[in-house]
Amino acid sequence: MKKALTTILALLTILSYATQIMWVGIDENALVHINNSALSISDWITTLQCAPEDVGARIRVGDMAMPAGYEDPPDQQPPCVVFDEDVSEFGVVVTDTYGETTVMYADWQPIRLDNVDKSAIVYYEIGYWDENLDWEFVTVATAADTLDNLWNQHTYKAGTLLPPAETPWKPSDYYAIPESSPSILAILGTLFLLKRRKP
């Protein structure tokens, strides 16, 4: 009886600290819309000036990137997922045990939702880690939806004992983020300065 009570108390402790988790993945049939054309995700990856294993993604709710889970230690059975405040990106292309790329894409990637405002916009950003920018993540294209639309189908409460009934959020379309033209920025800056100088 004492052992059963201890187990129940441990489970209640886990549930009291339960966190909302979102599953995400990459649809192999997804399209990336850039410059009035649509590329398959695999063709888009070949256009990037980086190795396939440097292609990544992240989930942002509003202005804040959410922590992405990873296995630590790797290959533990059952897997132990850890969330680190400094890790918000995850790899898009799956590599095998030899570091070679496969034809598979990220699937069932856990994302910890630190913002659970259901009216918030959720951004699924895809891009790459830039070696020339000290491995900073560069967003190239994004998909978006409201957290309310994603809530029941793609999120769950960590610590629950039921098997997951949810599916990963895999957008079918990503849209390029337009780069700011230096000339447009210069014009806007000049207009702002002129407006400030008026009495």
pLDDT band at 113 (very low <50, low <70, confident <90, very high): very high
pLDDT at 17 over 70: no
Is 20 or 13 the better-scoring residue by pLDDT? 20
3-state secondary structure 59-79: EEECCEECCEEEECCCCCCCC
Residue tagged 């004492």 (tokens): 2
Give the CA distances from residue 180 to residues 20, 150, 177, 184, 197, in Å, rounded to whole numbers and listed in that order: 35, 30, 9, 7, 25
pLDDT for 95 equals 73
Distance in angstroms (rounded) separating the CA atoms of residues 140 and 128: 8
130 Cα distance to chain centroid:
17
Who contacts 103 (Cβ-Cβ below 8 Å, separation ≥6)?
Answer: none
The fraction of the chain above a pLDDT of 90, given in percent, is 54
| Overall average pLDDT of the 47-60 stretch | 94
- Mean pLDDT of all residues in the chain? 81
Q: In the chain, what are the domain boundaries?
A: 19-197
pLDDT in tens, 127-184: 999 998 999 999 999 999 999 999 999 998 887 656 678 899 999 999 998 765 444 4
Q: What letters, b where the CB count within 10 A reaches 16 and e where it falls short, cover 31-40?
A: bbebeeeebe
pLDDT for 197 equals 47
Cβ atoms 174, 143 nearer than 8 A: yes
Lowest mean pLDDT among 16-25, 58-67, 138-147, 190-199: 190-199
